[in-house]
Chain A
C-alpha cells in the first residue's frame, strides 16, 4: 500500500472546510472532528500517532493496514494510552458509508496473546457527506493491541490516523 503525500494546502483545496457530519453510531461515539469534543475533565498531555495511512475498503472486513488476517493487530504497544481516536476522511465524491469495528487484546511478557481471538470494543458506521472528516473515539484504553477493521459495500479509499492519548483528570 503506498501513501500519497499531500501537503496541507493541497488537502484544504480538496476539502470543504466545514463542521463534519456525525456518523451513525452503534457502540462507539463518532463525533464531528472540528468540534474536538473531549470530555471536559480529561486533559491529554501526551498524544501519539500510532498509525497513519490509506486503506482500500471493500466488502471484506480489513484491518486499516489492508489485511484480512484476523490474528494480526493494527497497532501494538498501546498499553500506556487511556484512549484512542480514529480520524480521517474517505476520498471520492460519493456519500460515505463505511462500517468499522474495533477489537482489542492483551499480551504476556513475551508478546504472546493471553488467549485466542479478540474482545470486541465496539463498532460504528461512518455515514458522512463526501469529503468530510470523521472521528471515532475508542474510550477503552490500556489494551496492548488493537485491530481496527473497516468494510464498505462500494470500494472506498479511506485516509486515516490512529491517535492515542495519555492524559490526566482535572478536578
Chain B
C-alpha cells in the first residue's frame, strides 16, 4: 500500500457574492468531483487576488443528495497563498467545493490522496 496523489482540479474562478463551486456551477446539487470515493483526503492550495476573506462550503454525498458538509473561510492578504486540508469523516462518491465572497479571483489546485496496493 502506498499513498498516491492525483490532481483533481486546476483552475481560475471569479468569486462572487452568490455561492458556486470551483467549476463555476451555481446549481447546489451539481458535484465538483464524482467517482471520488477512493480519496481519503483533499488538499486545496491557491492564491486569492483580494484581501477580503472567501467563505467556502465543502459537501460530500452521492446522486441521492449531500450527507456531509464543512464550512470555513480562506483568509489572507491580496495575492496571498492559502491551503485548506479536507479530511472527510467518511468516503463519499461526490464532492462539491463551493465558494462565495467579495468579488475577487481564486486561482487554485485541488489534489486528492488515496491508497493503492503496490
A and B touch in the complex (CB under 8 A): yes
Residues of A within 8 A of B (CB): 45, 168, 171
Does B41 contact A171, Cβ atoms closer than 8 Å?
yes
Does B115 contact A168, Cβ atoms closer than 8 Å?
yes
Distance (Å) between the CB of A43 and the closest chain B CB? 9
Distance (Å) between the CB of A63 and the closest chain B CB? 32
Residue of B nearest to A170 (CB): B40
Does B40 contact A45, Cβ atoms closer than 8 Å?
no
Q: How far is the CA of A168 from the CA of B41 in the complex (A)?
A: 13
Q: Which residues of B contact A168 (CB under 8 A)?
A: 1-3, 115
Tell me the number of A-to-B contacts counted with CB atoms below 8 Å.
8
B83 at the interface (CB under 8 A from A): no
B79 at the interface (CB under 8 A from A): no
Count residues of chain B with CB under 8 A from any CB of chain A: 7
Interface residues of B in 21-76 (CB under 8 A from A): 40-41
Does B40 contact A171, Cβ atoms closer than 8 Å?
yes
Q: How far is the CA of A168 from the CA of B4 in the complex (A)?
A: 12
Does A45 contact B87, Cβ atoms closer than 8 Å?
no
Does A171 contact B87, Cβ atoms closer than 8 Å?
yes
7 contacts between A and B (CB under 8 A): A45-B1, A168-B1, A168-B2, A168-B3, A168-B115, A171-B40, A171-B41
Residue of A nearest to B89 (CB): A171
Q: How far is the CA of A168 from the CA of B1 in the complex (A)?
A: 8
Distance (Å) between the CB of A85 and the closest chain B CB? 20
Smallest CB-CB A-B distances: 7 pairs: A45-B1, A171-B87, A168-B3, A171-B40, A168-B1, A168-B115, A171-B41
Interface residues of B in 84-106 (CB under 8 A from A): 87
Residue of A nearest to B88 (CB): A171
Q: How far is the CA of A171 from the CA of B113 in the complex (A)?
A: 12
Residue of B nearest to A167 (CB): B1
Q: How far is the CA of A45 from the CA of B1 in the complex (A)?
A: 7
